[in-house]
Amino acid sequence: MILLTIKVRKSGQERTTPLVYTKDVTTSSSLPRRAAPPTNPAWYHNLVANPEATAEVGTDKSRCGRG
């Protein structure tokens, strides 16, 4: 489980979204996954609009994004 905290593009408030992820054994990276909806979820559009985020996995917390 990853807790992704990002700013909402319209209000500027921070929101935390829980995401399930799997590790890609061929590249040793991890990608957030969600059951395949027909469109991108709101958190995706918020992350594109403001790429700075905080990701938490267990007790590890990291700031990520551009800039």
Question: How high is the pLDDT of residue 17?
Answer: 92
- The 8-class DSSP code of residue 66 comes to -
Residue holding tokens 């551009």? Answer: 66
| Token duo for residue 2 | 């990853």
Helical segments of the chain, H only: 42-49
pTM: predicted TM-score of the whole model, two decimal places = 0.69
- The 8-class DSSP code of residue 13 comes to -
67 pLDDT band, cuts 50/70/90, is low
Specify the 3-state DSSP secondary structure of 24: strand
Of 4, 9, 39, 34, residue with least CA distance to 21 = 34
What pLDDT digit, counting tens, does each position of 1-45 carry? 899 999 999 999 999 999 887 776 665 455 555 566 678 888 889
Question: How high is the pLDDT of residue 37?
Answer: 60
Is the predicted pLDDT of residue 48 greater than 80, yes or no? Answer: yes
Amino acid, single-letter form, for residue 29: S
Q: Which domains does the chain carry?
A: 2-64 (2.30.110.10)
